[in-house]
Amino acid sequence: MRPSSSGRRVGLLAFDGVMLLDLSGPAEVFVAANRQVPGAYETAVLTAAGGYFETSVGARMEAQPVLGSGSYDTVIVVGSALPAIRFVTPELVAATLDLSRRTRRLASICTGAFVLAEAGLLDGRVATTHWKYTEDLARRYPRISVKHDAIYVRDELTYSSGGASAGIDLALALVEEDHGVEVAQAVARDLLVYLQRGGGQSQFSPSARVKVTESHVVRRVTDHVRANPQLSHTVRSMASFANVSERQLTRLFRDELANTPASYVADVRFGIACDWLRAGSSVAEAAAAAGFSSSEMMRRAFLARLGCSPRAFRNEARAADATRLGRSARGQRPVHPGGDANRGIPVVRGAGASSPVR
The DSSP symbol for 330 reads: T
Does residue 352 fall inside a structural domain?
no
Residue 143 CA to residue 214 CA, distance in Å, equals 42
Residues 318 and 229 in one domain: yes
Residue 328 CA to residue 41 CA, distance in Å, equals 20
Q: Mean pLDDT over residues 219-243, rounded?
A: 91
Residue 171 CA to residue 76 CA, distance in Å, equals 10
Tens of pLDDT, residue by residue over 294-311, are 999 999 999 998 899 999
In terms of pLDDT, which residue wins out, 266 or 357?
A: 266
Which residues on adjacent β-strands are paired with residue 63? 51
258 neighbors 251 (Cβ within 8 angstroms):
no
Residues 90 and 125 in one domain: yes
Q: What is the CATH number of the domain that holds 87?
A: 3.40.50.880
Q: Mean pLDDT over residues 322-328, rounded?
A: 52
Lowest mean pLDDT among 90-94, 197-201, 255-259: 197-201
Q: What is the CATH number of the domain that holds 238?
A: 1.10.10.60
Residues 242 and 168 in one domain: no
Q: Is the pLDDT assigned to residue 352 strictly greater than 90?
A: no
In terms of pLDDT, which residue wins out, 340 or 220?
A: 220
The DSSP symbol for 272 reads: H
Q: What percent of the chain has pLDDT over 90?
A: 65
Residues 140 and 288 in one domain: no
Lowest mean pLDDT among 26-40, 290-304, 335-349: 335-349
Total count of domains within the chain: 2
Residue 130 CA to residue 111 CA, distance in Å, equals 7
108 neighbors 77 (Cβ within 8 angstroms):
yes
Residue 223 CA to residue 84 CA, distance in Å, equals 36
Spatial CA neighbour of 342 closest among 91, 136, 102, 131 = 91
The DSSP symbol for 202 reads: B
Residue 15 sits at φ, ψ, to 5 deg, of -170, 170
Residues 178 and 216 in one domain: no
Residues 296 and 248 in one domain: yes
Residue 99 CA to residue 329 CA, distance in Å, equals 19
Q: What is the pLDDT of residue 210?
A: 55
CB atoms < 10 A from the CB of 111, how many?
31
Residues 251 and 103 in one domain: no
301 neighbors 340 (Cβ within 8 angstroms):
no
Residue 270 CA to residue 201 CA, distance in Å, equals 16
Residues 229 and 133 in one domain: no
**Residue span of the structural domain in which 241 resides:** 206-324
Residues 22 and 63 in one domain: yes
Residues 42 and 143 in one domain: yes
